[in-house]
Structure 1
Amino acid sequence: MGKLLVADYLVTGVINRFEVNAVRQNIAITGETLPRLVATFKSQFQIIESSTGKIVLADQVIQKIRFDEIRREIPSTERRYWTDADYKDLLFSKAATEVGNAILAGIYPIKVVKVSSTGVVLNRGKGVGGKQCLVINQGEAIIDIDTGESLGGSEEQVGLVEVTSVEGKFSKAKIIFGAGQIQYGDICRIQKTVQKEEEAAAYPRVTPGW
């Protein structure tokens, strides 16, 4: 099908989780216990090279939004007439951005295109603002003696950077550690801080009602 569509890659995936949980939060000053709503969206996907059928990337994205965080991000004047659908749209929009970034990074990894003593420039703009990225130095590629196919190469983590400003097609990041080791062409992978599902608390489920 990929060849018929003249596509280099095919992306397949499923949405296997969408739920809203009620999380109870204790307020120490007043002694009250207040409910907080947390919406979760999970999607698993694969990137397949159409010419060979090889799976280039298999990954998942878990996106959460909390009502109290939304109150800080979006002014009440903008949320005044919001309905359930508006909150769902916000969650889907954030999740779509994360999935899109993961797919793009799987095909065209984020790379360091300029290095200074305190910061770097990355070849990726929208979608990486405020995120931390592990900086990876890739060793020489290992080639299969029979097929001539690249089997990948050794990888070494050489640093960590945090994106501080985003332009249209590039972004600037400060070096948290690894100054002097990060080089032009190094790959950057967005650091994930998603809590493992098996470690998540079993919150009671409720019908979305923002």
Structure 2
Amino acid sequence: MLVTVLVKNGKYRVIERQEISKIMEEQNLGQSGRVTEQSAAKIGKLLGVELAVFGAVTEFGYSKSKTGGRIKGVAVGVSKQKATVAVDVRIVNTTTGEILAADNVRKEETTSGLSFSSRLTRFNDRKSFDNSLVGKATRNAVNEIFSLVEKQMEVLPWSGKIILVKGSVIYIKPGSEGGVKTGDVFAVYSKGEELIDPDTGLSLGVEEQKVGTIKVTSLITGGKAAKAMLISGTGVKKGDIIKVQ
């Protein structure tokens, strides 16, 4: 569900688990196959992603209680059904390996009435699951996790990258998908030595030196890239980082 929400939002590029597993295997980043804060930083550089979302379902199910009695000789029963979904979630900055947010998202949905179906956890299709109490609780949990991701993205400094320099034309990513517009001006930074925390072994970023300024001249169809021109500086090259001035 979370992947669907992120993709439909249109602002995020979501990496499939199969692609992450392939990178981990190729780079020997862990025999267990699990992504950790340490390996997330390395994977982030290889895949070009900014955030990693870790989740573990800690509670998933429902409970049903029933009370009843007799009124003037007539049996009356009232049932109450409760669905609970809980997820431990962590959001990690893949540049540094820092945990930006950690929370236990727990959602409940309840209903009560005189009669209920006993087939509470059998779903014939996606629609029947979505309409169930468990489905609604799951959706609410996913929406809250999405809000956590959105909040972290709002404070994460925007950056892009030069993907090709061809004569006087500079190609950058992202394009319109990343909010880039014709006329935007960006500072260009060349990456230097990586800064490693001696205590944790995690990356703290890299040395950066400003080498120029570029201006976006046109957007490339598809929204993933744009063309720009150099307006100051020299030595701009493929792989350099661009940032908002």
Fold shared by both chains (TM-score > 0.5): no
Q: Which has the higher contact order (CA 8 A, sep 6+)?
A: 1
- With the length of structure 1 as denominator, give the TM-score of the two structures: 0.43
Q: Counting helix residues as a fraction of each chain, which structure ranks higher? A: 2
Query: Larger Rg: 1 or 2?
Result: 2
